[in-house]
Structure 1
């Protein structure tokens, strides 16, 4: 609102910025409103951990407490005497407290934090204070009071909570200009931390969530601004085609979690068959997978693309002295513990005063009756005379009292009934005084050893209320899930090489591979340029494409080998490089940059293979050598911008592939995923070992067929496979088989001599069968004999197969095991053997680099030779 005297903008003049200062109600009311929301609604007080509405609910429940359940509607109505807002806000706040299962003993349908179901109407559910709340929250004698909002009643300024309640329950609120998010912590761990603080020891506290789950608290930052907690659902594999979620990440429920999974499935990020929600008292969400889909990979995809993993940003903000204060959870615990100590001290001091007062009057009463001081008032006619007579009669006997006798004390003595005087028992009176003296001495001892008393107090709380409150959330460090590795390839990538387009909508052109909408595509063209771009429906990347593929982020194993001509008639160079750092949608020149340059040879090698090529020159002049071989293994791996090594200054006619190469990189770890019967390099399933370029896999099936193969993630395996491991050419294979033709058992040991060839080591007969096979150095077997009619059963026989037979050829029959009738043959644990170590030249690491947006990364590479 522009007031008189303010400058106005003339429509004919150029626009200018005008600042109008607010006055009157605008100046004051907003600040008042902001302060009110911060102090009276959204942010809890550090003293007791309650927001105002929560404190008023707890106070009202104490007002109504008679040990029985009260209707929540009744409690809400009673709270409205203290709280200036409506019943809905009170009922919602009360349900939230009740669902935390700490302060309120609930009855009826209070909702379910696991499923997200709401509570029944407040007229249908009941509540009363829990024993824990009655023990630690209330003490009217040490409570400070203030007038309620309408001045008719008194309410507590803060409740004397003697426990770190704020950290146990957590708190969340959004005010004006600030917010708070204090995560819940474990009941037992908070008590133990409080004890450590009192003992002067260091402590660490981390969140514990009622929905359980798994949490990575490495970035918790003590619950202060800038911290982060990553939470995950607990997912396990029920069988090959079923996953089960049994615990939820904090901040979600089964409904929201299932919705996020269904949305990810609709978008093609994951692939599922159906979901079943069997949640009741415990979470159970069954995720059924289509056949052939890896459960391990799907678990990672659930973490990457659904609410099964989320990040929580804590923010420790509390109210202290009517001002917001930002502190960490450790400091909150220290202040809460120190406050508890002071409250315990106040309570002891009040009790001490009460016991000393009881002792004082008990002593006066004994003096008054035992010395018959009451007879001194028989002849007094005035009240003043009575008071003076009693005071005079007491004087000779009150020297041991701890304070002076007041007129109020004397008045109380006059109120003692004759019946009590007549039945007065001196011994019982003295016993009462002695008991009071013991209690006074005990309280004084506690005050002198206040820290020990506080530790004993916390220890009692843990013993009485700690059962069943063990940690629910598992603390574990998470590895980041690479979304590009676990996303479902739900679309197809095509290329038009001649015109230079790549994309998912070019269905009439050449199919490249399956991809997803979050993938990057790497493209090489004939003129020596390279580009990486996001998958899209249609993207122009440059004409005469010679190679296109999905780009793998942080891929340090794919090596590109190329030979290029520098300019139209310049010399030719050879180079090897990998691509680890680029700027998207930027064209990179892989040649020396001269016009007319072109690639003469190119290969992309997913495991760093180095092939041998033949160089053929054009006949020109007096060139003597027109043909020779080059091994890419002799070329150092450098940056993509390097010039490369000179091949020849003469014109090359063509480059031919002579021999495929093996990997020149460090060994690669390979796993086998039994659920989908596939190899992978992503850490899913059983680790088979570290493989170099020349290493092979050994495969044996139940039919007795053995072969060695080069490991490849595209390999398929039969269901009757019984051995899959890294092949050691020096380690023999031991087998016991039944010879169907001779109807006897035989033992054989052999080495594989024909790499890559599929061979059978069991005779071809319909009754022949393989009993056991072992790839151990010193295998042991046990033979159980069948009982033959008229004969005693023979004892089991243990056989050292290495001693039983020497190594022979794979086609040898082997040695006869026994002529007796065999019931069963078992493979035992092998004898200890120290396997000889393989010695390899040390390879240097290739550094990980990321794709960056907006700037070019470092091209430096480390030689692998």
Structure 2
């Protein structure tokens, strides 16, 4: 590169006699050329404009399709070639952009194989597929009269600066792109909801819009932040339980395909995070992925694990960046909708003004034409020999009749009058001409009314779009608040934990030593040792934790129901103590002393109780000195549950020979209160939602669905519930379940009452015929229902379930109610019933005890 060609080049000569090297500074080039390139990419390639919602390539594709539009399909290859007159890039990029527009199912009417957004299959080659503009696109995207034009890149043609789009197209389609130094990711929103929001904005009301995806699925928009920087959207697949061994995925999260989803599930299975038997992909027009589970694997736990370890749950970070006034700006989707709606109003106003001007010009010339013919002014030009004379003669003849016209007559108007054919003059009908002019006046008045009431006109415009094109565009993505899934609680125990108690090693590689439990590589383990110390550490292949291990288990953080019962000697010759405590939080890999910290302490007895059980033990003392009573029993239930740092209660100051287990005890914890949070469709113990009751270890949940299924199961916080669930309550085994249902095979209605005799098993309590349908279900002791019939001649009847039928088995058909068609069944107030009283055993509440309780005595139980 010579210095004349580049002003930024500076020549440095190392040899004074001869120039051998040339060094070029690129600072200036970078500053000018790179910034030019960055601006070009941002404005002309990657970021959509706020005015019409399109990137340049999309705008040029649609403009080309309008050029070619004749109502018939065109080969996509032909459209791509035509677009290259406007877009200075290769045909591949244009073809890909066109397929993306088509797959959004809004602007392009497609024919042929355009690919599958569900499976990720690509579209066929552009020579095999066809396209034309949709009716919606022709309605809202184009209007040559309101379009601003500019020269194409080679100056041969004119292309739109922006298309006059009268709809929030950017939010409907969404869009993403990566430019130089910035990117954009605008999520698609629901067609109908955008129209409703635009109408609310026009009426001065507040609105809220949230994304909606063609793939469906479930989404949590709690942190959407209007699509601005820092926002976050969590999307999940819709997973349901087909049966005890099969899960079915019917909808996938945005940004994934069935192929990538299945690959992530297989990878998680190979890593041992989840455990599946096999997976089937039956996806065609709709998604259907069947996940088959091995025997003994919990479907509920597997659903959570799929969300935790696979692409069944993804997180999306939106970033709304648009081009406004020829520069990129970062704004929220609400502001985008407001600007788009205001732009639509401005375009509608411009269209009305153009229409009014055209109508007034029509009215003006129609009035001139009527005057010209009705008053035979054309005869005034018969004797004129020059063109100027003809013009003057017509102008003179019109003057007495033009006082009612709205503007002055121009020479152009007169020239148009001279072009009227003799045939039209000879067949001129004054009445028809008058009616035509009156019709134009009505149209002018209507347009003026719209301009005077522009907001009302715009609202009606949006309502027309909704009624014309809104069918089938209902929301597909379910809005829900997600509960956080803890990976440690749902991970499959894919390896085994072993311990060498004497040498003090634990780990997954000690296969020759004692097996403890199944575990995962993300679990923590809690270790108790003979000297009264405790340690929590991460699962590893081999870890030294200390000798004389007495208890080892998987550690659950914040577990208030696992209670440890312990008896220990304080130091070498000190007294012995007993205590009950929980371990809810710790610092990993830190040694905790559960005794008093004196050297030589020794644990006499230790148990871990997952539900707060308190056993009875026998104390045996050594025969020393004058001690008379060498043996007695102690019940751990007499102790209060405290923190791990508490000293406990004194047992004896004399040496203990041994402690023997005598009898198992019951839980001393209160029944656990369980709530159901309808927002996330999950059980919890955090007082969120509706209280279902207090549950002991043996208590069950009653669940019934609209499809006629019922089950009594142990409550589990990881449980998932069917969408058609209609009953969720604490189960009383003695309380009958009452129902009215329609038998599809016999085509009549039945009443039945039954008890559940098999727990933890889902059973169908209506007939299996596909037309069978549950009308109503009641769980009171003595329910009463009102039955209304479809025939107006039939009066409503009351059904007292207790009198109508006795309690029978769940498989019994029941007693026939009627063969007439039922319109509606309503539950009335139940008849009174007094439940028998039950004397409950008093139990101790779970206490929130500080882990750092002082080492104070809790009082003596026995001392000798």
TM-score range, shorter chain: 0.7 to 0.9
Match of 1:569 in 2: 573
Q: For 1:404, which of 396, 405, 408 is the aligned residue?
A: 408
Residues in 1 aligned to 2:425 and 2:468: alpha-carbon distance in whole angstroms:
44
2:505 is the alignment partner of 1:496: no
Counterpart of 1:233 in structure 2 is: 237
Q: TM-score, normalised by structure 2?
A: 0.77
Cα deviation for residue 76 of structure 1 reads 0.6
Measure how far apart 1:43 and its partner are: 1.4
- Contact 1:556 / 1:580 at 8 angstroms: preserved in 2? yes
Distance 1:322 1:670, change over 3 A: closer
Give the match's secondary structure for 1:279: coil
Query: Which of 199, 208, 213 does residue 209 from structure 1 map onto?
Result: 213
Partner Cα separation in structure 1 for residue 167 and residue 99 of structure 2: 21
Choose 314-323 or 592-601, whichever is displaced more. 592-601
Cα distance in 2, alignment partners of residues 430 and 95 from structure 1:
53
1:663 alignment counterpart: 667
1:273 aligns with 2:277: yes
Which residues of 2 match residues 432-581 of structure 1 at below 5 A? 432-581=436-585
| Secondary structure in 2 matching 1:341 | helix
* Equivalenced residues, count: 727
Is 1:81 the counterpart of 2:85? The answer is yes
CA separation of 1:834/1:176 partners in 2, compared to 1, >3 Å: closer, same or farther?
farther
Shift of 1:68: 0.7
Structure 1 contact 609–661 (Cα < 8 Å) conserved? yes
Aligned 8 A contact 2:532 2:601 in 1: yes
Q: Distance in 1 between matches of 2:382 and 2:806?
A: 120
Equivalence for 2:45:
41
1:335-378 Cα shifts (integer Å, max 9, x gaps): 21111111111111111111111111111222222222223333
Q: Which residue of 2 aligns with 1:15?
A: none
Which residues in structure 2 correspond to 1:678-693 (within 5 Å)? 690-692=694-696
| Deviation for aligned residue 1:280 | 1.2
CA distance in 1, matches of 2:295, 2:385: 108
State how far apart, in whole Å, the 1-side matches of 2:852 and 2:255 are: 43
Q: Aligned to 1:108, which of 109, 112, 131?
A: 112
1:322 shift after superposition: 1.9
* Deviations 1:284-342 (CA, angstroms, capped at 9, x unpaired): 22222223333333222222222122222222221111222222222222221111111
Note closer, same or farther for the CA distance 1:32–1:622 as it changes in structure 2 (3 Å cut). Answer: farther
Whether the 8 Å contact between 1:609 and 1:663 is mirrored in structure 2 is: yes
Which moves more between the two structures, 94-103 or 275-284? 275-284
Distance in 1 between residues matched to 2:532 and 2:501, nearest whole Å: 14
| Partners of 1:492 and 1:513 within 8 A in 2 | yes
Which of 118, 137, 140 is the matching residue for 2:122?
Answer: 118
Task: Tell me how far 1:621 sits from its aligned partner.
Answer: 5.4
Go from structure 1 to structure 2 and tell me whether the alpha carbon gap of 1:374 and 1:343 turns closer, same or farther (over 3 Å shift).
same
- In structure 2, the gaps of 5 or more residues are 1-7, 13-23, 676-683, 702-712, 717-728, 737-778, 784-800, 818-829, 859-864
Structure 1 unaligned segments of length 5 or more: list them: 7-19, 672-679, 699-709, 714-724, 733-775, 781-797, 805-816, 818-823, 849-856
Q: CA deviation at 1:479?
A: 2.2
1:287 corresponds to = 291
CA distance, structure 2, for counterparts of residue 512 and residue 195 of structure 1 = 65
**What is the DSSP-based 3-state SS (H/G/I as helix, E as strand, rest coil) of the residue aligned with 1:663?**
coil
What does 1:408-419 correspond to in 2, within 5 Å?
408-419=412-423
Q: What is the CA-CA distance between 1:604 and the residue it aligns to?
A: 0.9
Q: Describe how 1:318-333 pairs up with structure 2 within 5 A.
A: 318-333=322-337
Instruction: Tell me: CA distance 1:319–1:594, structure 2 relative to 1, closer, same or farther (3 Å).
Output: farther
- CA spacing shift, 1:179–1:841, aligned 2, 3 Å: farther
* Kept in 2: contact 1:521–1:533 (CA 8 A): yes
Distance 1:183 1:404, change over 3 A: same
Of 32, 38, 45 in structure 2, the residue corresponding to residue 28 of structure 1 is 32
Aligned-partner Cα distance in 2 for 1:314–1:634:
58
CA distance in 2: counterparts of 1:837 and 1:391, whole angstroms? 110
Change (3 A) 1:837 1:206: farther
Q: How does 1:707-722 map to 2 (within 5 A)?
A: none
User: 2:739: which partner in 1?
Assistant: none
Name the counterpart of 1:641. 645
Q: Tell me by how many angstroms 1:74 deviates.
A: 0.7
Paired with 2:370 and 2:240, the residues of 1 have a C-alpha distance of 75
Deviations 1:21-52 (A, max 9, x none): 96210122222222222222111111111111
Q: 1:157 maps to what in 2? A: 161
Q: How does 1:329-344 map to 2 (within 5 A)?
A: 329-344=333-348
Structure 1 Cα separation of the partners of residues 192 and 848 of structure 2: 45
Whether the 8 Å CA contact 1:615–1:629 is kept in 2: the answer is yes
Does structure 2 retain, via aligned residues, the 8 Å contact 1:565–1:599?
A: yes
Residue 661 (structure 1) shift = 2.4
Q: Is the 8 A contact 1:616 1:628 kept in 2?
A: yes
* CA shift in 2, pair 1:4/1:837, >3 Å: farther
Write out aligned runs for 1:40-439 (5 A). 40-439=44-443
Measure, in 2, the Cα distance between the counterparts of 1:35 and 1:846.
64
Instruction: Report the CA distance between 1:619 and its aligned residue.
Output: 5.1
Matched, 1:591 2:613: no
> Quick check: 659-668 or 123-132, which moved more?
659-668
Assess, with a 3 A threshold, how the Cα gap between structure 1 residues 196 and 272 changes in structure 2: closer, same or farther.
same
Distance in 2 separating the partners of 1:65 and 1:847? 74
CA-CA distance at 1:82 after TM superposition: 0.8
Matches of 2:361 and 2:29, distance apart in 1: 56
Which of residues 599, 603, 608 is equivalent to 2:607? Answer: 603
User: Aligned pair in 2 of structure 1 residues 4, 777: CA closer, same or farther (>3 Å)?
Assistant: closer
SS in 1 for 2:615: strand
Within 2, Cα distance between the matches of 1:148 and 1:268?
58
